Amino acid sequence: MELEEARKAGLAPAEVDEDGNEINPHIPQYMSSAPWYLNAERPSLKHQRKWKSDPNYTKSWYDRGAKIFQADKYRKGACENCGAMTHSTKTCMERPRKLGAKWTGKSIAPDEKIETFELDYDGKRDRWNGYDAASYKHVIERYEARDEARKKYLKDQQLKKLEEKNNNQNEDGISDDEDNEDDLKVDEAKVDESKQMDFAKVEKRVRTTGGGSTGTVRNLRIREDTAKYLLNLDVNSAHYDPKTRSMREDPVPDTDPNEKFYAGDNQNRISGQALEFKQLNIHAWEAFDKGQDVHMQAAPSQAELLYRNFKINKEKLKSQTKDTIMEKYGNAAIEEALPRELLLGQSEREVEYDRAGRIIKGQETSLPKSKYEEDVYINNHTSVWGSWWKDHQWGYKCCQQTVRNSYCTGAAGIEAAEAAEDLMKANIARKEANEDMLAPAQEKKLATWGSEVPEDLDLDEEKLVEALKKEDERRREEKDERKRKYNVKWNDDVTPEEMEAYRMKRVHHDDPMKDFLN
């Protein structure tokens, strides 16, 4: 650490990298230290450079229109149209001939120069890669020739006008040497002024009813005015935004307001009709939020009319409220002043102070009041909320109620609450005693599917098994008529065992497991 501080102070020589270059000691360690996977033996800054650069990338471009070989006769595999070997017939860019070079053997086109480049990331995305700046030279020459012709034409026209004027004066017999010399001179200042007027024109697209058309819009800014960003060259002065050309604050706030012609863009926002327009917008937004069907851009006249009515009604309501208050409490500003004897009146009350100016006796010290309302009793209470605390609950001390904003019941309410509490405790104790004395209830034996079994019912297990077999046979006969016998004997007597077997085998539709039976 001491060596690093000495290097930063310039007392020790700077550290040297692998190539012998000095490393700036003020470079942070996280930039100078190489990653672990590079296995750097000594400090270096190579890892901060583009150390993965590919030397195969090139900056060159195609040689446009270059030819490499001119053949005398058609060669096998060449283009059938022009005879060049560097492309096929399908990709030939020449005009299709009536008879191609394959059949005529004449006008064989030379072979083009084919090049392949491996461009880097920037080279692939360079829009101007391969552009020749000399190809734009003819455009510049054309515009320069046009300007020269224009100047010559203007000069010829000026000379023609001067000659006609001189001829007219000679015919009239009036000649003045000084006037003739002035007239023969070409007014270069007027020509320069006309050029400046041309530069002041701005071509813009102007929307018309018949569609877009190009119109001329003149720049109305006076060129002699000082730019707003040049009024105060201090870097800590008002901020100037070059994109929007705005300077909100005053660049020269200490200058006399009567002398300065620019006081910042904010001055325009808070003066004139801009402030009224801002208030109109705010009123339209608030009215729309409250349900009024008003929109400043859709119906500006309606919004302005509503705003005017709102201001009139507001002034009426304000004056009406003022009159109501004055009628109720009076107006001390217009009343007569109190007599001097009453203002400077004396009393027989004696107040004693100590050396420090504190009151010893004669006047009770007033307790400081908070900003909240104190000693406010509501609903017939004689104490405030929070004067009673019981079982982690606040309440009123006068009636011991823990429900806020409740009506005061006084001492009768306290007695009723205590009686209710005693009754509740007695009921709880009696219930606990009855639960201890109750015997366990006998569970009733239920038959199949919840039906109760009569007390005198006695089922024989062997007969129940036989009845279940008969029930199964009956169900099989219902499914397959072929198993049904001819000599059917029917008996209307139903035994308890058969009834129980029917109940056990019956399919209940509310049974969730009915699909898994049989």
pLDDT digits (tens, 9 = 90+) for 293-328: 888 888 999 999 999 999 999 999 999 999 999 888
Can you tell me the distance from the alpha carbon of 421 to that of 416, in angstroms, rounded to the nearest whole number? Answer: 9
DSSP characters for 46-72? GGGS-TT--TT-------TT-EEE--S
Q: How far is CA 304 from CA 104, 294, 310, 315, 470, in A?
A: 87, 10, 10, 17, 97
Task: Output the pLDDT for position 155.
Answer: 93
Q: For residues 61 and 117, is the Cβ–Cβ distance under 8 A?
A: yes
pLDDT score for 87? 93
How many CA atoms lie less than 13 Å away from 54 in the CB half-sphere? 8
* Confidence band, pLDDT 50/70/90 cuts, at residue 19: confident
Buried b (16+ CB within 10 A) or exposed e, 134-168: eeeeeeeeeeeeeeeeeeeeeeeeeeeebeeeeee
Reported as type and span, the H/E element at residue 327 is: helix 300-329
Confidence of residue 186 (pLDDT cuts 50, 70, 90): very low
Residue 192: φ, ψ to 5°: -65, -40
Q: What is the pTM of this model?
A: 0.25
Is the distance from CB of 81 to CB of 62 less than 8 angstroms?
Answer: no
**According to the model, what pLDDT value does residue 146 have?**
94
Q: Nearest 10 degrees: CA dihedral of 285, 287, 289, 291?
A: -150
* Paired tokens of 495: 């035994």
Q: What is the pLDDT of residues 437-483, one digit of tens each?
A: 765 554 444 444 445 556 667 788 888 888 888 888 887 777 776 66
DSSP 356: T
Which 3 state secondary structure label does DSSP give 506? coil
Tell how strand 211-218 and strand 388-390 pair up.
Answer: unpaired
Residue 338 to residue 326: CA distance in whole angstroms = 19
Could you give the CA distance from residue 171 to residue 173 in angstroms, rounded to a whole number?
Answer: 5
Read off φ and ψ for residue 196, nearest 5 degrees: -65, -35
Give me the pLDDT at residue 501, please. 84
How far, in Å, CA of 407 to CA of 398, rounded? 11
**Residue 199: what pLDDT?**
45
Checking if the pLDDT of 188 tops 50, the result is: no
Percent of the chain with pLDDT over 70: 76
Give per-residue pLDDT as tens, 407-417: 898 888 888 88
Q: Tally the C-alpha atoms within 13 A of residue 227's C-alpha that lie toward its C-beta.
A: 8
Q: 280: how many CB neighbours lie within 10 A of its CB?
A: 18
- How many separate helices (H) and strands (E) can be counted in the chain? 14, 8
Q: CB–CB of 390/402 below 8 Å?
A: yes
Nearest-angstrom CA–CA distance, 220 and 199: 12
Span 54-91, pLDDT tens digits: 666 777 788 888 999 999 999 999 999 999 999 999 99
**Is the pLDDT higher at 170 or at 197?**
170
pLDDT band at 488 (very low <50, low <70, confident <90, very high): low
Q: Which residues contact 47 (CB under 8 A, 6 or more apart)?
A: 34, 35, 38, 40
Residue 430 has pLDDT above 60, yes or no: yes
Q: Pick the more confident residue, 81 or 340.
A: 81
CB 303 within 8 A of CB 296: yes
What pLDDT, on the 0 to 100 scale, is given for residue 375? 78
The whole-angstrom separation of Cα 281 and Cα 304 is 9
pLDDT of residue 366: 58
Q: How far is CA 309 from CA 280, 305, 402, in A?
A: 12, 6, 51
Distance CA 45, CA 38 (A): 12
Q: How many angstroms separate the CA atoms of 24 and 130, rounded? A: 40
Other beta carbons less than 10 A from residue 215's beta carbon: 12
Closest listed residue to residue 246, CA positions, set 266, 260, 216: 266
Q: Indicate the length of the chain as a whole number.
A: 518
Residue 188, both tokens? 């270069």
* Residue type, position 84, single letter: A
> How much is the average pLDDT of 186-199?
47
pLDDT of 114 over the 50 cut? yes
Which region among 313-317, 359-363, 385-389 has the lowest average model confidence (pLDDT)?
A: 359-363
Strand partners, 446: 452
Residues 6+ apart with CB under 8 A from 433: none
For residues 307 and 286, what is the distance between their CA atoms, to the nearest angstrom? 11
> What gap in Å lies between CA 110 and CA 67, rounded to an integer?
6
Question: What tokens does 117 get?
Answer: 């480049």
